[in-house]
Amino acid sequence: MKTLGTVWLLLLTVSAAEDNEFYTLEDFARIEKIDVHTHVWTDRDTFVEQAKKDNFRMLNIAVDLSKGQAFVEQQFAYCRDQKRRYPKAFEMATAFSIADWDNPNFVENTIAWLDRCFDQGAIAVKVWKNVGMVFRDKNGELVMVDDPRLDPIFDHLTQKGIPLIGHLGEPKNCWLPLEEMTVNNDRDYFGEHPEYHMYRHPELPSYEEQVAARDRMLAKHPDLIFMGAHMGSLEWNVDELAKRLDRFPNMSVDLAARMGQVFYQTIHDREKVRDFFIKYQDRILYATDKSDTGEDDPDALQKEIHDRWLQDWRFFVTDDPMTSERVSGNFIGLRLPKAVVDKIFRQNAESWLGMFAI
């Protein structure tokens, strides 16, 4: 017969085991974390000051926003400046403009530019959604990411072991009318950016064609280290994303600006979502897509960054009932084991992107 003391000892043992297996909300500032998708294109310190408080380090990414090579170079200059002043807080990813696509020396010039960036510390390269959705060559044809002319660039990255970050296509919601979109953040974004709302542009490639072009590119370059930004544009269904991760072993994904879709799926089938994160714990990198261009009020921006990081941490480490402005409806946090959280929030950034390697 168990004594009262024995029962208490068993309860304390169970409680200690649970404490050892799971983080809590209170662990947030104590645990080292990495956000692999930020854009800090300013010389002010607003972003990094908040990151230090919340124990985050960042990948600062330049992007080809269809504004030409000079604009990309300006962004990368900001990345270099932040890295120079805060070497323990930032790593850098560069980009290349395709505005000079019809120049016979486009490939040669692009590779030369990227090599200069690598010499200055860039650890990855981003290709943006203007490939496949915006840019047209001199014949008026859209350039897709599986275009053979891009192959030498991707081969060069493969040979150097440099990861490619791909924002290719958009959320599946992009091809739906605003009122049929599943999450509020997509509805807000495409309402503000009708030029990227593909429902309004039926003459452009479909969602399926965008994803297929990306998949064909990966099939051509099986040894390319690839991080699919924004959940690889497969944010709407963890089963579909799992199929790509199974098919392409050198593919990982970040969660930037797609946690709303994760919340949405959690509302409908929490266990499926939780099982996905546990099964593919080595392939998922935490990210937000938060940015600072020096224009927003610094106090408001820091609060926005902190609130986003803390809400996402709560979702992954607790089983609290939650709500979010990104979705309509209540959901329950996933309460993932510490080992899984450590991979998503730090270790995968180190292993897939080589971040902060000594």
Domain boundaries defined on the chain: 26-353
Kindly tell me the burial class for residue 37, based on how many C-beta atoms sit within 10 Å of its own C-beta (0-12, 13-18, 19 or more). buried
Structure tokens at 330: 């209540």
Q: What is the pLDDT of residue 17?
A: 53
Q: H or E stretch including 152?
A: helix 151-160
Q: What is the DSSP string of 95-151?
A: E---TTTTSTTHHHHHHHHHHHHHHTTEEEEEE-THHHHT-B-TTSPBPPTT-GGGH
Fold for the domain defined by 26-353: TIM Barrel (3.20.20)
**b or e along 10-34 (b: 16 or more beta carbons within 10 Å of the residue's beta carbon)?**
eeeeeeeeeeeebbeeeebeebebb
pLDDT given at position 258: 98
**Total length of the chain:** 358
CA–CA separation, 24 and 21 (whole Å): 10
Here the contacts of 183-189 (C-beta below 8 Å, separation 24 or greater) are 183/260, 183/261, 183/263, 183/264, 183/326, 183/327, 184/260, 184/325, 184/326, 184/327, 184/328, 185/257, 185/260, 185/325, 185/326, 186/260
Of 313, 349, 309, which Cα lies nearest the Cα of 334?
Answer: 313
Q: Is 173 exposed, middle or buried (0-12, 13-18, 19+ CB in 10 A)?
A: buried
Model-level pTM?
Answer: 0.94
Name residue, tokens 């998922």: 284
Hey, CA dihedral for 121, 124, 130, 132, is it positive or negative? positive
**Of 264, 210, 208, 255, whose CA–CA distance to 228 is shortest?**
255
The residues pairing with 123 across neighbouring beta strands, listed in sequence order, are: none
- Cα separation of 246 and 242, whole Å? 6
- Tokens coding 133: 């959705």
202 neighbors 264 (Cβ within 8 angstroms): no
Query: What is the structure's pLDDT at 1?
Result: 54
CB 240 within 8 A of CB 280: no
pLDDT in tens, the chain (358 residues): 556 555 454 444 444 456 689 999 999 999 999 999 999 999 999 999 999 999 999 999 999 999 999 999 999 999 999 999 999 999 999 999 999 999 999 999 999 999 999 999 999 999 999 999 999 999 999 999 999 999 999 999 999 999 999 999 999 999 999 999 999 999 999 999 998 899 999 999 999 999 999 999 999 999 999 999 999 999 999 999 999 999 999 999 999 999 999 999 999 999 999 999 999 999 999 999 999 999 999 999 999 999 999 999 999 999 999 999 999 999 999 999 999 999 999 999 999 999 998 6
Q: Given this model, what pLDDT does residue 7 score?
A: 45
For residue 175, the SS3 value is: helix
Element (H, E) at 275: helix 270-279
Three-state secondary-structure class, residue 37: strand
- DSSP code, position 196: G
- 59, 314 Cβ separation under 8 angstroms: no
Q: In 3D, which of 59, 71, 65, 35 has the Cα closest to residue 122?
A: 59
